[in-house]
């Protein structure tokens, strides 16, 4: 039985974007490239949309056709060599839903995450007990093994916050903070944990209080992923029961960038947010 396909990495997405740009700069259609290289037009489409990883000889043929200089060839060859690196996610292969695996693969490569969460504590801030209680509630028919695998994966995800390479900016709605997940001890520990994570120099946490009223993100949570020096296009991730969305077209990313700017301008300051969490933790009976 064949294994499930691996989600595209940020490196593969950058390689795809570069090959598309180079073809357009050379003013060649896919049909023209197919005629001159023998590369199937459908295969070229899959390569340029990061749905397929090109073979080394295919990449060489394309770069020769596009008259790419040696330095750029070396750069893209390295991208191809590293395009399938999945990191720690391979440990959980086959145990996590495809859509979740795809997202956390991108998350592990991002340089910056801008997160708005409306209903639950964001995964990168969750305690183990909170995560376990949350997943049990969301997967009432899940086995103990399935639930523990999800818990372990979420705890592993949080390693991206260590070392300071990832810049994380979160806006969390008051509704997420007040939702009862687990018993009062679990919730209180969760709120205290958030206060500690907020002290990390690479983390900015803001609370969006009820009194802020209507805002542009009332329809739901989202994450903007920015890949920095990797050069892959920025991406917006939206999770839903109907299926997850990954948007990387410029108008969509710009729209969500603007929405996030509005949210962080409306939310409490980082200092006031920590005080809000402290006060809320004291209110738990």
Q: What is the pLDDT of residue 228?
A: 84
The answer on pLDDT for 2 being more than 80 is no
- Please state, in angstroms and rounded to a whole number, the distance separating the CA atoms of residues 60 and 82: 16
Q: Where are the domains of the chain?
A: 10-82, 96-283
Query: What integer is the mean pLDDT of 98-109?
Result: 75
pLDDT per residue as tens digits for the range 215-274: 999 999 999 999 887 677 898 999 887 777 888 888 999 999 999 999 999 999 999 999
Furthest CA-CA distance within the chain: 73
Q: What is the pLDDT of residue 90?
A: 46
pLDDT per residue as tens digits for the range 39-63: 999 999 889 888 888 999 999 999 9
Torsion of CA 132, 135, 140, 144, to 10 degrees: -50
Q: Which of the following CATH numbers is that of domain 10-82: 1.10.530.10, 1.10.260.40, 1.25.40.10, 3.50.50.60? A: 1.10.260.40
Query: What CATH architecture does domain 96-283 belong to?
Result: 2-Layer Sandwich (3.30)
In terms of phi and psi (left: phi > 0; alpha: psi -120 to 50; beta: otherwise), the region of 9 is beta
Which pTM was predicted? 0.75
Rg of the Cα atoms in the chain: 22
- Return the closest-CA partner of residue 273 out of 183, 223, 212, 186: 212
């Amino acid at each position: 039985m064949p294994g499930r396909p691996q989600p595209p990495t940020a490196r593969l997405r950058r390689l795809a974007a570069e090959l598309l740009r180079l073809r357009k700069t050379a003013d060649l259609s896919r049909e023209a490239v197919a005629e001159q290289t023998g590369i199937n037009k459908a295969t070229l489409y899959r390569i340029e949309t990061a749905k397929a990883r090109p073979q080394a000889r295919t990449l060489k043929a394309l770069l020769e056709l596009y008259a790419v200089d040696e330095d750029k060839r070396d750069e893209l060859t390295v991208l191809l060599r590293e395009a399938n690196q999945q990191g720690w996610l391979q440990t959980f292969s086959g145990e996590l839903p495809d859509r979740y695996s795809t997202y956390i693969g991108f998350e592990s490569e991002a340089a910056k995450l801008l997160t708005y969460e409306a209903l639950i504590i964001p995964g990168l801030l969750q305690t183990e007990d909170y995560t376990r209680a949350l997943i049990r509630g969301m997967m009432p028919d899940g086995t103990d093994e399935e639930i523990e695998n999800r818990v372990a994966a979420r705890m592993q995800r949080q390693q991206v916050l260590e070392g300071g390479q990832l810049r994380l900016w979160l806006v969390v709605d008051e509704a997420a903070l007040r939702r009862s997940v687990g018993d009062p001890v679990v919730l209180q520990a969760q709120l205290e944990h958030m206060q500690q994570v907020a002290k990390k120099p690479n983390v900015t946490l803001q609370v969006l209080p009820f009194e802020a009223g209507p805002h542009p993100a009332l329809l739901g949570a989202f994450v903007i992923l920015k890949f920095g020096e990797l050069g892959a296009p920025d991406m917006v991730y939206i999770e839903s029961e109907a299926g997850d969305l990954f948007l990387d077209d410029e108008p969509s990313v710009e729209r969500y960038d603007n929405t996030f700017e509005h949210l962080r301008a409306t939310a409490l300051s980082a200092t006031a947010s920590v005080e809000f969490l402290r006060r809320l933790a004291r209110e738990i009976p």
